[in-house]
Amino acid sequence: MAKVSVRFFARYAELAGCDWSAVNVSTPATVGDVIARVREVFPGTQAMPPRPLAALNRRQVKHDALVNDGDEVALLPPLSGG
Amino acid sequence: MAKVSVRFFARYAELAGCDWSAVNVSTPATVGDVIARVREVFPGTQAMPPRPLAALNRRQVKHDALVNDGDEVALLPPLSGG
Amino acid sequence: MTHLTRHPIDVGDLLATVQSAERGGTCVFLGTVRNDADVTSIDYAAYEAMTFEEIERILAEAHERWPESRVMLQHRLGLIPVGEASIAIAAAAPHRDAAFAACRYVIEEVKKRVPIWKKELHVDGSATWVDPSGKPVAGGLRDR
Amino acid sequence: MTHLTRHPIDVGDLLATVQSAERGGTCVFLGTVRNDADVTSIDYAAYEAMTFEEIERILAEAHERWPESRVMLQHRLGLIPVGEASIAIAAAAPHRDAAFAACRYVIEEVKKRVPIWKKELHVDGSATWVDPSGKPVAGGLRDR
């Protein structure tokens, strides 16, 4: 098992109803597995696109990136900075 | 005959020994004719390149541009503004 | 100089961090809040820790590509009224080609990579998240 | 705002002349005196009447190419110490592509067309006219 921090931003925080949470996933697990678990725990996030932009420990990654206990996964709506 | 003002700038003013003068040329005359006359009147300007950059009434022109009485011809060293 | 601020950006301060006697060309980019579609202000939110790290990476890449350049960036967060700057980038280099190129590189990478989101606030009191195509989408539920 | 000045250029004043609520992107170029080869300052001389007209033409061309942009330029003349700006261009437009393009267009045209000359003053007291390839040439006879 790995306990992974999950952060929600902007519209996704509205969908989740929170900014921060943590989920448990059986290892080996990927960012995609974390997101699947998030959709179960926070049904509002089912309105996110099928493959939302994600960051692992503050770097954008693909959904097949492996997660470890203590990692931070962030779900990022389409960026609009600048 | 046309009387044409002639202006010298930067290094060409040093070569001419003055910033401003006027020369008379028989019409029809071109900027090139004015420059040829300048080289006679101000021998120092013979050190200018064979075809120096020139402006007629504050616009860059080729040496075949026609001049009229009262026009202003300027002899411009290679530009280095900015 | 910090990359993220909640106060108005001072371009003079930014310039001072990049200019020097060896660098004869400086290019600055300022992004300011536009009055599109009755927008009165934009509320900028960031994933701050990642934003900071991503900006550091982008500036390091610019330095690697244009080694003689020096580039600095500030992004403002929070509520920014129309007409004020949300981002300022200053790139100084010995010659202008590198200054323009480095400045442009940094703004393009920031737009693509930095986790910042804007919510437009309108004259009528409504709020809309901005999507990257430039069209406002859904809600602004949280603040209203 | 005048295009030619004998005083230090104020970038804030320049920005104020081009920015507005519709223009979300602003690109600024600053050319500053570099400390090349023991240069202490550069003396800028211009054919002022033609410089003014040529700058007006260049700005009009930029406006024709990027109609939603607004560009302003100041060139400083006289003795400018190392590190200070000889030229500043600010281009504001609704989007950044036009702001960068208009700013770049104006500096390139200025370099090609505006009748301004610089004489470098060196630590040892000598003076040299700068030729456009960037190499100092002959004399500076007049002032020495």
> Can you give the pLDDT of all 144 residues of chain D as single tens digits?
799 999 999 999 999 999 999 999 999 999 999 988 789 999 999 999 999 999 999 999 999 999 999 999 999 999 999 999 999 999 999 999 999 999 999 999 999 999 999 999 999 999 999 987 655 555 444 332
Mapping DSSP to helix (H, G, I), strand (E, B) and coil, where does residue D11 land? Answer: helix
Length of chain C: 144
CA distance C89 to chain D (A): 10
CB of D23 within 8 Å of a chain C CB? The answer is: yes
DSSP tag of D8? -
Asked if D15 and D75 count as a contact pair (C-beta separation under 8 A), the reply is no
> Which residue type occupies A17?
G
Nearest-angstrom CA–CA distance, B62 and B38: 16
User: What ipTM was estimated for this complex?
Assistant: 0.92
Element (H, E) at C80: strand C78-81
Nearest-angstrom CA–CA distance, D52 and D55: 5
CB of C87 within 8 Å of a chain A CB? The answer is: yes
Nearest-angstrom CA–CA distance, C73 and C107: 9
Q: Do C115 and A76 touch (CB under 8 A)?
A: yes
For residue D122, list its beta bridge partners: D39
pLDDT above 90: residue B16:
yes
**Residue D143 pLDDT:** 33
DSSP tag of A79? P
pLDDT band at B5 (very low <50, low <70, confident <90, very high): very high
User: How confident is the model over C33-83, as pLDDT tens digits?
Assistant: 998 878 999 999 999 999 999 999 999 999 999 999 999 999 999 999 999
**Residue C63 pLDDT:** 98
Chain D residues whose CB is inside 8 A of the C99 CB are 29
pLDDT above 80: residue C142:
no
pLDDT above 90: residue B30:
yes
**Residue C135 pLDDT:** 52
- Residues near C136 by Cβ (< 8 Å), separated by ≥ 6? C37, C120, C128, C129, C130
Burial of D2 (0-12, 13-18, 19+ CB in 10 A): exposed
Nearest-angstrom CA–CA distance, A44 and C79: 27
**Residue D30 pLDDT:** 98
Nearest to D104 among C15, C22, C100 (CB): C100
pLDDT above 80: residue A8:
yes
What are the percentages of helix, strand and coil residues in chain D, rounded to 5? Answer: 35, 35, 30
pLDDT above 80: residue C132:
no
Element (H, E) at A20: strand A20-25
Q: Do D30 and C33 touch (CB under 8 A)?
A: no
Beta strands in chain C (DSSP E): 4-5, 25-32, 39-46, 70-76, 78-81, 85-93, 116-122, 127-129
For residue B68, what are its two tokens? 């009229």
Domains, chain B: 2-76 (3.10.20.30)
- Residues near A50 by Cβ (< 8 Å), separated by ≥ 6? none
Look up the pTM and report it.
Answer: 0.92
Share of chain D above pLDDT 70, in %: 92
Return the CA Rg of chain D: 16
Nearest-angstrom CA–CA distance, C75 and C33: 12
CB of A59 within 8 Å of a chain C CB? The answer is: yes
**Residue C140 pLDDT:** 43
For residue C9, what are its two tokens? 């950006």
